[in-house]
């Protein structure tokens, strides 16, 4: 099992809200509460990766932008 997960997300109220400071990410919302509980129970940490383009769009060359593009490209 992984001890640290990097989660690519597209934040939407009220499910996921991300507030970032210089040194920390704060997750608020329904899904974040669930994630905090599960991570504590299963003993793992996580961080969020967001994309300014949101969920993403499929381009004419069949590639994707946004969150979907990051996942398909396995981009950090």
The 10s digit of each residue's pLDDT in 27-38 is: 777 777 888 899
What value does the mean pLDDT of the chain take?
A: 79
Whole-angstrom distance between the N-terminal and C-terminal Cα of the chain? 20
Which of 60, 34, 30, 58 lies closest to 46, judged by CA?
34
Does residue 69 sit in helix, strand or coil? helix
E strands, the chain, in order: 4-8, 17-20, 25-28, 45-49
Q: What is residue 24's predicted lDDT score, i.e. its pLDDT?
A: 66
**CATH at residue 48:** 3.40.190.10
Q: Which domain holds residue 38?
A: 4-73
Instruction: Count how many domains the chain has.
Output: 1
- Of 19 and 60, more confident: 60
């Amino acid at each position: 099992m992984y001890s640290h997960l990097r989660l690519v997300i597209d934040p939407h109220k009220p499910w996921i809200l991300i507030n970032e400071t210089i040194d920390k990410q704060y997750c608020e919302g329904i899904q974040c509460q669930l994630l905090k509980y599960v991570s504590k129970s299963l003993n793992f940490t996580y961080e969020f990766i967001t994309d300014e383009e949101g969920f993403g769009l499929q381009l004419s060359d069949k590639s994707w932008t946004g969150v979907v593009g990051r996942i398909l490209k396995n981009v950090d």
